[in-house]
Amino acid sequence: MANTDSVKVRVLSLNCWGIRYLSKQCPQRYTMIGDMLCKEEHDIVLLQEVWSEKDYLSLKKKLACSHPHSHYFKSGVIGSGLAIFSIHRIHDTFLFRYSLNGYPYMAHHGDWFGGKAVGMAVLNIGSLTANVYVTHLHAEYCRDKDSYLPHRVVQAWELQQFIRHTSAGADMVILGGDLNMHPEDLGNRLLRSYTGLQDAYLETAKFDGCEDGMTLIADNPFINKKELCPFEKGIRIDYILFKGSFKTDIYCDYMSTTKGSVPNHPFPYSDHEALTAGLRLETHTQTQSDRQPKIKDSAAGKLAALVDIVTEARTEVKVGLHCAEGMRYTATRTGVMGLALLVLELAIAAVPWLALGTEQPFPRTSFYLLAALCFAILLTTFLLYIFYTMELKALQGAEDQMRLAVGSLQEKLRGFPLAQPHNAPRRPPEGHEPSALAPEE
Amino acid sequence: MANTDSVKVRVLSLNCWGIRYLSKQCPQRYTMIGDMLCKEEHDIVLLQEVWSEKDYLSLKKKLACSHPHSHYFKSGVIGSGLAIFSIHRIHDTFLFRYSLNGYPYMAHHGDWFGGKAVGMAVLNIGSLTANVYVTHLHAEYCRDKDSYLPHRVVQAWELQQFIRHTSAGADMVILGGDLNMHPEDLGNRLLRSYTGLQDAYLETAKFDGCEDGMTLIADNPFINKKELCPFEKGIRIDYILFKGSFKTDIYCDYMSTTKGSVPNHPFPYSDHEALTAGLRLETHTQTQSDRQPKIKDSAAGKLAALVDIVTEARTEVKVGLHCAEGMRYTATRTGVMGLALLVLELAIAAVPWLALGTEQPFPRTSFYLLAALCFAILLTTFLLYIFYTMELKALQGAEDQMRLAVGSLQEKLRGFPLAQPHNAPRRPPEGHEPSALAPEE
């Protein structure tokens, strides 16, 4: 039962807003970020929106001494923008690309081209294995009418699946990133309650930073205040989450955020605030069976809450399905109209030619322009049809998985008020802290 | 040390060749497959190429009594074609889509539209947790000049990553599917040696089936013998692989394949043969530390072999990179030529009009046709450029991960001939059979 070991880990997460030539003061800010990381020597640095590999490579060069281990996750057309720097050796990496990520034709939003994903790195911190995740979910451009909500919910669903399934062997799980979700948003609740991850801001013993832990604040000079409306002061959308395992307890000793400016510098590191968390791991010799009763007490309530959350997520995905079906139908109808127009045009052009010989009443210029338009419509609607079909498949797939999960959770729940069902005591938990799913079966 | 429990699991894997209206005798074969599955009552049925959801649903209806639990994995444009039927309850599912999967313009090969993936289902078999995986990798259309080889190697790489990272909490791992790789192909070696999965055909105590365990045979009436050349009798590309954990030993008691025909039926189930494996799990009370020495003896050799295999895979991915770079360069060059042609045309058309007024020497028909051609070239090359960029990112990502893995493996290897390095004995293995990676760190 006695604690045998204590390990401290300092984690930083920052959305770097690193769009070359478009983000303001980009090179200067990278210089500032590099200097700060070099000086602060966090154990683990989780960066998002490092869109250019060149910027990653220059950071890597600069941090060669302080953070000798790093990984840049490549994905999509531009890249995932995700990078990890670490003092501890990275033994293994893995990337999961979200199945949904906006629309390629919404080029001004750019999310689709970024190939949003969650990157995982396996580190050894002393004798412990840490699974470190970094991610960046689809942005929210309009909270009232958020057409990307189903995509973000599916991303949160896949993120929790990925973390849950890949972290069974880890002593410590850390997730940092820009989730683009407010603390109590559906995707955030889904992620936290399914994985059992704890929010560093809520768990920290000491906090120094923006009011309510906000990470996108009106005081930041790069922020357009209108875009924050109706949240005048700002919002909290960047997080550091963590959990231990059956053999480690993990605590957040302190947490801090930057406050919209950096002392002795004319502007901040980014349009987002940087988050720093000081985590402390305590290893214990306690066995799984010692801890089991404590887990059971709270598990029924957690399971019931989880069923509600997954059901809510399912509803949101169904809204997305309905919407995608509508879009595909519109694309199909437009395609059919394009085809009909082409046939009509050919008929008008061909019939007099067939009937009257050399005379051609259809003006050539109009004929070719109209034909080009028809072909453009046909090609565009065909591509859109393919795209929406893929979107539908991904949404249906997530919905199926959620339905199955709800069924499985409900079955577990049924066993709770009574004595444990016949197969409950046979299998120990998968090795984790009281997440709602881990303890039983 | 004593065995305390023994569980038997019968697994079937079959590539159903279920392309509606294109595959021969498709509805009749599904009827035969359904009847067989109903009668045989395998614990776990892993199907590939169930391209139509309707066929899955009719199978599900038919197997409602024998296999009450099932899941169909949706992905891509058509679907992943992957389905699992199980006697045991499926508690959780997860789908990983491979980052590379052929080219959309190779529509006659169709792989891209299928959205190839690996599906995972978590089952409880008695008191044990089984992670069951089903997959179908990119087909090999020409062995001598296999342009899809880098894609298949990356798929095998991602498959091993997915299995390795998601199976730490499982007592038993089963993978079934059409890997489209011969037993000693690079991807297969990579998969087996990295995950520690064992090949049921090689491990079985009894075997009844085609010579050398072949699963695509010349005697199958649906097979075009020319396509098998130079392997006159057939090839082995479908597999059932398995491994236990630190608390279970797993054995293959028997294995069988169909032999190109089905008794009392005019044709076989599919163009692939069906595989059945009888697995036996023995749970033991042995602790990890009891087993550690045995693992260590063989681990150094396995690690060295693994370094070679990953290095070979890296070389193959580099070949793919070189090829994709070439393709992107060609697309860019063609696009520039299209643009130049358009500018030239506009200049020819515009200059006399500007200079000489009303006279128009450029024939209108040719003008519009040429302009349409230019636009078509520009659009196509733009789409190809985007596609090849994504392919490059995925290949570079895999190459980066492989480089990191080789480095990590080599570091482990350096510690071997000497005494264990300072951090080796601290952490127990992640809970698995002697795969080369599991034992240390």
User: What does the pLDDT look like over A151-175, one tens digit per residue?
Assistant: 999 999 999 999 999 999 899 999 9
CA-based nearest distance B403→chain A, Å: 10
Instruction: Quote the tokens at residue B169.
Output: 């909490």
Beta bridge partners of residue A130, listed in sequence order: A123, A172
Instruction: Quote the tokens at residue B150.
Output: 């880098």
The H or E element spanning position B84 is: strand B82-86
A161: nearest CB among B94, B99, B170: B94
* Optimal mutation site among B90, B96, B132, interface A, most CBs of chain A within 10 A: B96
Mean pLDDT of B393-422: 81
User: What does the pLDDT look like over B195-234, one tens digit per residue?
Assistant: 999 999 999 999 999 999 999 999 999 998 888 888 889 9
pLDDT at A422 over 70: no
CA-based nearest distance B40→chain A, Å: 26
DSSP assigned state of A420: P
- Residues of chain A with Cβ-Cβ distance to B390 below 8 Å are 76-77, 115
Measured between CB atoms, does A182 come within 8 Å of chain B?
A: no
pLDDT at A368: 79
pLDDT at B370: 87
pLDDT at B423 over 70: no
- Residues of chain A with Cβ-Cβ distance to B96 below 8 Å are 96
Contact B375 A379 (CB under 8 A): no
Q: Residue for token digits 């879009």?
A: A327
Mean pLDDT of B351-372: 68
Mean pLDDT of A120-147: 91
- Residues of chain B with Cβ-Cβ distance to A386 below 8 Å are 77
pLDDT at A94 over 80: yes
pLDDT at B123 over 90: yes
pLDDT at A201 over 70: yes
CA-based nearest distance A395→chain B, Å: 9
pLDDT at B43: 96
Tell me the percentage of chain B whose pLDDT exceeds 90.
64
User: What does the pLDDT look like over A211-233, one tens digit per residue?
Assistant: 999 999 999 999 988 888 889 89
Q: Residue for token digits 């079985």?
A: B204
A401: nearest CB among B93, B128, B168: B93
- Residues of chain A with Cβ-Cβ distance to B127 below 8 Å are 423, 426-427
Contact A115 B379 (CB under 8 A): no
Contact A427 B129 (CB under 8 A): yes
B397: nearest CB among A73, A129, A372: A73
Mean pLDDT of B148-171: 94
pLDDT at B2: 46
A76: nearest CB among B115, B372, B393: B393
Euclidean distance between CA atoms B147 and B109, whole angstroms: 12
Judge whether A368 and A360 are in contact, CB under 8 Å. no
pLDDT at A115 over 70: yes
B397: nearest CB among A74, A120, A431: A74
pLDDT at A259: 93
Q: Which of residues 51-90 of B touch A (CB under 8 A)?
A: 71-77, 79, 89-90
- The string of DSSP codes covering A193-241 is HHH--EEHHHH-SEEESSGGG-SEETTSTTS-HHHHTT-SSEE--EEEE
Q: B268-281: b or e for each residue (b if 16 or more CB lie within 10 Å)?
A: bbbbbbbbbbbbeb
pLDDT at A228: 85
A77: nearest CB among B77, B129, B390: B390
**Candidates B42, B67, B151, B272; catalytic one:** B272
Give Cβ neighbours of residue B320 (< 8 Å, ≥ 6 apart): B149, B150, B151, B153, B154, B395
Contact A127 B74 (CB under 8 A): no
| Confidence band for B297, pLDDT divided at 50, 70 and 90 | low
pTM: 0.88
- Residues of chain A with Cβ-Cβ distance to B365 below 8 Å are 364, 368
pLDDT at B360: 55
pLDDT at B424: 39
Measured between CB atoms, does A107 come within 8 Å of chain B?
A: no
Euclidean distance between CA atoms B34 and B18, whole angstroms: 13
pLDDT at B413 over 50: yes
The H or E element spanning position A356 is: helix A288-356
Runs of H (alpha helix) within A73-219: 111-114, 149-166, 186-195, 200-203
Euclidean distance between CA atoms A385 and A396, whole angstroms: 16
pLDDT at A361: 61
pLDDT at B229: 82
Euclidean distance between CA atoms A71 and B403, whole angstroms: 11
pLDDT at B79: 84
B168: nearest CB among A169, A369, A379: A169
User: What does the pLDDT look like over A33-55, one tens digit per residue?
Assistant: 999 999 999 999 999 999 999 99
Measured between CB atoms, does B423 come within 8 Å of chain A?
A: yes
Q: What is the mean pLDDT of chain A?
A: 86
User: What does the pLDDT look like over A357-374, one tens digit per residue?
Assistant: 555 566 777 777 888 889
- Residues of chain A with Cβ-Cβ distance to B371 below 8 Å are 372
Q: Which residues of A are catalytic?
A: 272
The residue of chain A nearest to residue B390, with distances taken between CA atoms, is A77
The candidate with the shortest Cα–Cα distance to A163, out of A183, A134, A138, is A134
| Confidence band for A142, pLDDT divided at 50, 70 and 90 | confident
Answer yes or no: B272 catalytic: yes
pLDDT at A247 over 70: yes
- Residues of chain A with Cβ-Cβ distance to B51 below 8 Å are none
User: What does the pLDDT look like over B374-383, one tens digit per residue?
Assistant: 988 999 999 9
pLDDT at A432: 44
| Confidence band for A355, pLDDT divided at 50, 70 and 90 | low
- Residues of chain A with Cβ-Cβ distance to B408 below 8 Å are 89-92
Euclidean distance between CA atoms B424 and B417, whole angstroms: 13
Measured between CB atoms, does A415 come within 8 Å of chain B?
A: no
pLDDT at B430: 42
Contact A389 B77 (CB under 8 A): yes
Tell me the percentage of chain A whose pLDDT exceeds 70.
88
pLDDT at B302: 86
Measured between CB atoms, does B414 come within 8 Å of chain A?
A: no
Judge whether A83 and B403 are in contact, CB under 8 Å. no
Q: Which of residues 376-395 of B touch A (CB under 8 A)?
A: 379, 386, 389-390, 393-394
Euclidean distance between CA atoms B380 and A376, whole angstroms: 12
User: What does the pLDDT look like over A329-347, one tens digit per residue?
Assistant: 999 999 999 999 999 888 8
Euclidean distance between CA atoms B189 and B187, whole angstroms: 5
pLDDT at A157: 95
Contact B396 A71 (CB under 8 A): no
User: What does the pLDDT look like over B51-67, one tens digit per residue?
Assistant: 999 999 999 999 999 99
* Optimal mutation site among B50, B57, B99, interface A, most CBs of chain A within 10 A: B99
pLDDT at A42: 95
**More confident position, B78 or B198:** B198
- How many CA atoms are closer than 13 Å to the CA of B43, on its beta-carbon side? 18
pLDDT at A358: 52
pLDDT at B429: 40
User: What does the pLDDT look like over A277-333, one tens digit per residue?
Assistant: 999 999 876 555 444 444 455 788 888 899 999 999 999 999 999 999 999 999 999
- Residues of chain B with Cβ-Cβ distance to A79 below 8 Å are 393
Beta bridge partners of residue A44, listed in sequence order: A11, A86
pLDDT at A425: 39
Give Cβ neighbours of residue B316 (< 8 Å, ≥ 6 apart): B149, B150, B153, B186
ipTM attached to this prediction: 0.87
Q: Report the range of poorest mean pLDDT among A246-255, B48-57, B109-118, B356-365.
A: B356-365
pLDDT at A24 over 60: yes
Euclidean distance between CA atoms A268 and A40, whole angstroms: 16
pLDDT at A371: 87
Contact B99 A394 (CB under 8 A): no
- Residues of chain A with Cβ-Cβ distance to B411 below 8 Å are 89
Q: Count chain A–chain B contacts defined by CB atoms under 8 A.
A: 150
User: What does the pLDDT look like over B7-44, one tens digit per residue?
Assistant: 999 999 999 999 888 889 999 999 999 999 999 999 99
